[in-house]
Amino acid sequence: MNLPVVQARLAEADVARIERAAAYVETHDTDQVLAELLPSLTSAERADVSRHLVFDHTAVLVFPDSLDGLREELRRLGLEPGPVTPSVVVRDRLTRRYGPALAGIPVGIVHVAVGGRSVEIFALPVSPDSALEAVAADEREAEHESHHAFAVTAPGPVVPAGLRLLLQERGGAVPDGGGYNGHENVTVLYHRTTTHRRFELRLPGRHDPLPDPTTALLTVMTGAWATQAVATMAELNIADHLADHPGMSAERLATLTSTHPDALRRLLRYLTSLGLLTSADGTYHLTATGQPLRTGTEFSLHPLAQLYGGPFYDSFAGLTHSVRTGEEAFAHRHGQHHFPYFAQHPELGGLFHRAMAASAEMFTPVPTLIDFSAVREVVDVGGGNGALLGHVLRAHPHLEGVLFDRPDALEAARTQLTERCTFVTGDFTRSVPEGGDVYLLSRVLHDWDDERCLTILGRCAEAMRPGAQLLVVERLLPTPTAVAWDVHMLCNVGGRERDEAHYTRMLAEAGFEVRGCHDLPLGASLIDAVRATAS
């Protein structure tokens, strides 16, 4: 006895959406879809991307009254559907969006071949008069699940990683979850565009899963926990103990650090998850990431961890005030700007200068990037502990140095610079020592607004003869490091990071000509300028 074929029914709105998708895949190629989704990509970038991926399909979500007979209904529309397979990923997304009522309802996928590509049809069965009719109406209006898909043609992890970086950094795409589809043996990575359209990259085989958006957001939100965990690791000198005795147990570490064994073990587990430690058989070891927290080593980040976990951490609690008013949160919370505040609290001032020295790695290439052979005197304006000037003087024994700063700042430098250096106190907004061949401004300008920067640059220009050299060390936007530091400067000193063009304009206004710009470690840059000849 032959059973009758169940005929699934599709609403006219769903039929129209399938037909529009079929027309789209038949008339668009990879370059056209990329241009539509990511208009900020140049034609050359699109051409390069198209060498490694191809437009594969367009997807729509429809709502037949049943999955049984869906293929027959699609054939009635003149389409040639493949088999119906389950989609756990889409069902899970719908469940997160509309609640657990959808958790037990199967969602099917069926591909319809169109002109060498396909339309991917997601099907959520919704029977007439069902409560899910509201879900269907919302999805038809919002088109949450509609997207275009690209198949990545290059094997291995390197090219896909580069593609994702380009699409995100240049195209503005935002990762939006994904997962492994065992039925097709592909990993699907979803993205959203700046106009809230969605697309996916399809990578052959299984790849490491990406966190869903909620998990990713929670990771960002709990970044303060990581800051404090690293600060505590520094405060307890855990890196020093593990460097001296690799493979130490939590109990032994607790004895050495005078801490509660169970509480310390929980901290160590968290530090392990952050990549600063590894653990095996109940013992702990430093990783390369944890090594810079050792004390007494060159470029130790130990004081920086304490500074970020201490006064600067506290000031970030006032970031909303800074965003509302444009004023630094540090002064709002402590009653004064952080420079005079640190001067009145020597223990914090000392920590600040040690923390600044921790970033001195960025200065290491400067003595070889610049030709100092014809130079006799180098003036470091606002040089603090003299880390940059010290690098230059040690590399070039024929040089004499002048370190110019506030009295409290110079105290930190007197023990470090003992030869061929003169210490001069003063205020660089009023005057700068004259007679130097090269002047240094390292991480000074980002502390101030444009008006004050022009004042400082003007004082330098007044002190410098035409042709004298000015070297400016700053982090330049739009690098990710500078973007983060820009918010830090807003919150803690009322300054800002700038891009190269911004600095070039200010330097020109103050009477300087920029000759070049060099990359430095730790996301910094060296701007090379000269005092222009008066016209």
Q: Is 144 annotated in the active site?
A: no
Q: DSSP code of 496?
A: -
Residue written as token pair 């983060």: 484
What does 286-312 look like in DSSP terms, one character per residue? Answer: E-TTTGGG-SSSTT--HHHHHHHHTHH
Tokens in use for 70? 């869906």
Contact assessment for residue 150 and residue 51, using Cβ atoms and an 8 Å cutoff: no
How far is residue 210's CA from residue 168's CA, in Å, rounded to a whole number?
15
What is the separation, in whole angstroms, between the first and last Cα of the chain?
103
The catalytically annotated residue of 446, 488, 502, 518 is 446
CA atoms within 13 A on the CB side of 451: 1
Q: Which has the closest alpha carbon to 414: 392, 394, 432, 390?
A: 390
How far is residue 436's CA from residue 445's CA, in Å, rounded to a whole number?
19
How far is residue 150's CA from residue 445's CA, in Å, rounded to a whole number?
45
Contact assessment for residue 299 and residue 221, using Cβ atoms and an 8 Å cutoff: no
Return the sign of the alpha-carbon dihedral for residues 258, 261, 263, 267. positive
CB-based burial of residue 37 (10 Å sphere; 0-12 exposed, 13-18 middle, 19+ buried)? buried
Task: Could you list the beta-strand ranges (E) of 375-501.
Answer: 377-381, 400-405, 421-425, 438-442, 469-477, 498-499
How far is residue 107's CA from residue 123's CA, in Å, rounded to a whole number?
6
Q: Which has the closest alpha carbon to 503: 472, 531, 535, 481?
A: 472
Contact assessment for residue 329 and residue 318, using Cβ atoms and an 8 Å cutoff: yes
Contact assessment for residue 422 and residue 398, using Cβ atoms and an 8 Å cutoff: no
Q: At 191, which amino acid appears?
A: H
Contact assessment for residue 321 and residue 348, using Cβ atoms and an 8 Å cutoff: no
Contact assessment for residue 390 and residue 417, using Cβ atoms and an 8 Å cutoff: yes
Q: Which has the closest alpha carbon to 31: 60, 7, 54?
A: 54
The SS3 of residue 439 is strand
Query: Which residues are tagged catalytic?
Result: 446
